[in-house]
Amino acid sequence: MDDVVGVRWDPDAVVFRYPDPEHRLAGVRLDQHAGVPAELLDFAYDGGAWRLAVPAPVTWRLEYRLELRYPDGRTEIVCDPDNPRRVGGAFGDRSVAQRPDYAEPGWLSQPAADGNWRELGIPAASLGAEVCARIWSPPVRTGRVLVAHDGPEYDKLAELGHYPAALVGAGRVPPYHLALLAPGARNEWYSANPAYAQALGREVLPRLRAELGTRGPVVGMGPSLGGLAMLHAQRRFPHAFAGLFLQSGSFFRPRLDRQESRFPWFGRIVRFTGRVVGAASAAGPVPTVLTCGLVEENLSNNREMAYALRRQGYPVTLVEVPDAHNFTGWRDALDPHLTDLLCRIWG
């Protein structure tokens, strides 16, 4: 480990080093969500630095921070100062270790097709609030629409705003509109909330169709709770959707997700997922792709949901991605999996 500065990904282990030549710290611990067991996360002090080697996870990448412990009992969570690679997230920046064979998606560097952006505020009476949308449209007339939950975060942290322009520009998908929906009161709206589903189905989608001059069904997508909310809306308004792309959906189940039981709307979510998993059939099955990280807590409930939807007639693909519950992992799964779904639905 002597030549490690910050972090190094070896074939069998990820190796970390945090310098502390005056031994001012009482301990250092790895903060991660890549499935490394809790008992393996504490660094050991050796020769002026804190050192740790953990088994290499079954992922392309490992997002992490360091928990610094001081002799007076204080703790501090920091990024790795000796690792320049950082990534943004919903809860701030994290340091990143990457497997040597990891490569970013090629579409990130592809030129963008022409298009324009517009902002739209949509009053939603059932929510007593406004749903904000940011819409990208190609210069040609089209009736195709992709609607995304967590839109601003998807754009900022997963480059979703560049994705249609790059793929349309490359001729790999037909031209379409992308509507990025802001989450508003996210935890409340996206937690299988009937009021939100009502707003999406009866107010937001009709207003988007009117704005864009299209009448056809849309493709809906979302990550985490946003994926759950999109499935919830499709079950209530099945003919409003032509397909679903759900990433790491928070399809909580009591026997699989007790760690989420303190979430304020856990009960509402498990009642909905229980009805879906237990249903013998569905009113309007549509082509659906689920993606989920191999080291996620949500993997088991996504497997169960994929099986249930397939049994009910949904043409389902479940993609298990070598990453965790984060926007970079969701970004890296867009192509080819969202690309293939859009081509399947739109031709």
- CATH number of the domain enclosing 88: 2.60.40.10
In sequence order, what DSSP letters do the residues of 159-195 get, joined into one string?
-TTHHHHHHHHTTSS---EEEEE--SSHHHHTTT-HH
Whole-number pLDDT of residue 42:
98
% of residues, the chain, pLDDT over 70: 99
**What average pLDDT does the segment 145-149 reach?**
98
Could you tell me the pTM of the whole model?
Answer: 0.95
Same domain, 289 and 314: yes
At 80, list the tokens: 């790795």
Whole-number pLDDT of residue 2:
52
CB-neighbour burial class of residue 258 (10 A; exposed 0-12, middle 13-18, buried 19+): exposed
Rounded Cα distance, 181 and 338, in Å? 18
Domain count within the chain: 2
pLDDT at 119 over 50: yes
Tens digits of per-residue pLDDT, 59-90?
A: 999 999 999 999 999 999 999 999 999 998 87
Which stretch, 91-95, 214-218, 242-246, has highest mean pLDDT? 242-246
pLDDT at 6 over 90: no
Same domain, 50 and 194: no
Rounded Cα distance, 222 and 292, in Å? 12
Angle value at C-alpha 21, between 15 and 27, nearest 5 degrees: 60
At 27, list the tokens: 């301990």
The closest of 347, 207, 231, 215 to 286, measured between CA atoms, is: 231
Asked if 226 and 150 count as a contact pair (C-beta separation under 8 A), the reply is yes
Asked if 291 and 330 count as a contact pair (C-beta separation under 8 A), the reply is yes
Whole-number pLDDT of residue 100:
95
Rounded Cα distance, 98 and 75, in Å? 26
The closest of 187, 37, 173, 21 to 29, measured between CA atoms, is: 37
pLDDT at 186 over 80: yes
pLDDT at 1 over 60: no
Tens digits of per-residue pLDDT, 277-318?
A: 999 999 999 999 999 999 999 999 999 999 999 999 999 999
Give kind and range of the element (H or E) at residue 76.
Answer: strand 75-78
At 208, the pLDDT band (50, 70, 90 cuts) reads very high
- Within-domain flag for 83: yes
pLDDT at 221 over 90: yes
Same domain, 341 and 200: yes
How many Cβ atoms are within 10 Å of 338's Cβ, its own excluded?
24
- Within-domain flag for 107: no
Same domain, 74 and 206: no
Give the residue from 98, 133, 156 where a domain finishes.
98
Tokens 């059932």 correspond to: 126
Range of the domain at 43: 6-98
For 278, half-sphere exposure in the C-beta direction (CA atoms, 13 angstrom radius) is 7
Lowest pLDDT segment from 1-5, 166-170, 317-321: 1-5
